[in-house]
Chain A
Amino acid sequence: MVAFDRLPGIRSVRGARPVALILLAAGVAGCATMAPPQPWEKGTLARPEMQLDPDPLDTKITQHIYTSREAAAGGYVAGGGGCGCN
């Protein structure tokens, strides 16, 4: 347990430890309400703008330019590139 009342800035404040404990409890309990969505509640998560790559075409074009103009073979995904030796 962290000794809150021994921290330099808190030492002089009366009742700092209970307040800190309440804050800690509230913070920990905050996660308890985060129930994962049910299988039938994933409509919003399935929307195109919620994807990791929201615009695949734009990514493809960017990768193409990155590969051909900057000689970075493989775009973002492959190692190496730049020196023209691979």
Chain B
Amino acid sequence: MNMKSPVPSCGLRAAAAIAALWLVAGGTHAGTVGDAAPAFALPTAQGGTISLLQLRGQVVYVDFWASWCAPCRRSFPWMNEMQQRYGGRGVTIVAINVDARRADADRFLWQYPATFAVVYDGTGATPGAYAVKAMPSSFIIDPQGRIAGVEHGFLEEHRGALEEKIRSLIVAR
């Protein structure tokens, strides 16, 4: 009988090593539900700074966006609506722009004005810390500073669930 060797083949071992590496690389990223939200302190257009730490105690909706991101054109009016509806109830929306060129972001904002806070990170450090996987990506952060919800992309049919998530955190506050 032709028995298979108990020692895994070279190819199998290589595949296992690659899988282990991939797991390790994936495991170091933050940005998953239950994790502490990575801190940031980023400039606004008016010359101020918004840091996540100063928003502790509030429900924070962090949105990563770019001028070239098509679904962002639909998420901006929705976030304006959320800002209007929940802004006075302890919810802060912070939209982090990731454009390399500031002029591109300004052109987008001129077309799609925002009533919520917009900050700028052209270096990619903050989206990297949050392990952003799609544009736009949103992170709902609870008053204790933990990530309570992650949304990749912006889908019309997910609006209700997102709003429900925000509302449930206001109640829990």
Point out residues on A near B: beta carbons under 8 Å: 38-44, 46-47
- Whether, in the assembled complex, B139 has its beta carbon less than 8 Å from a beta carbon of chain A, the answer is no
Whether B132 contacts A40 by the Cβ 8 Å rule is yes
Question: Chain B residues in contact with chain A, CB under 8 A?
Answer: 64, 66-69, 98-101, 104, 124, 127-128, 132-135, 137
Instruction: State the Cβ distance, A35 to closest chain B Cβ, in Å.
Output: 12
Q: A46-B68, A47-B68 are in contact. Are A40 and B104 (CB under 8 A)?
A: no
Query: Are A39 and B132 neighbours in the complex by a CB distance under 8 Å?
Result: yes
Dominant SS among interface residues on chain A: loop
Which residue in A38, A44, A46, A47 is a CB contact (below 8 Å) of B124? A38
20 A-B residue pairs with CB within 8 Å: A38-B124, A38-B128, A38-B132, A39-B127, A39-B132, A39-B134, A40-B127, A40-B132, A40-B135, A41-B100, A42-B66, A42-B68, A43-B67, A43-B68, A43-B99, A43-B100, A43-B101, A43-B104, A46-B69, A47-B68
Q: 6 tightest A-B contacts by CB?
A: A46-B68, A40-B98, A40-B127, A43-B68, A39-B135, A39-B132
**Contact between A40 and B64, CB atoms less than 8 A apart:** yes
Contacts of B100 in A (CB 8 A): 41, 43-44
Interface of B is mostly: loop
Which of the residues B67, B68, B127 comes within 8 Å of A38, measured between beta carbons? B127
Instruction: Output the least CB separation between A10 and chain B (Å).
Output: 30
**Smallest CB gap from B70: residue in A:** A46
- Inter-chain CA distance A47–B15, complex, in Å, is 37
A43 to B99, CA, bound (A): 7
Q: Which residues does chain B contribute within 8 Å of A40, judged by CB atoms?
A: 64, 66, 98, 124, 127, 132, 135
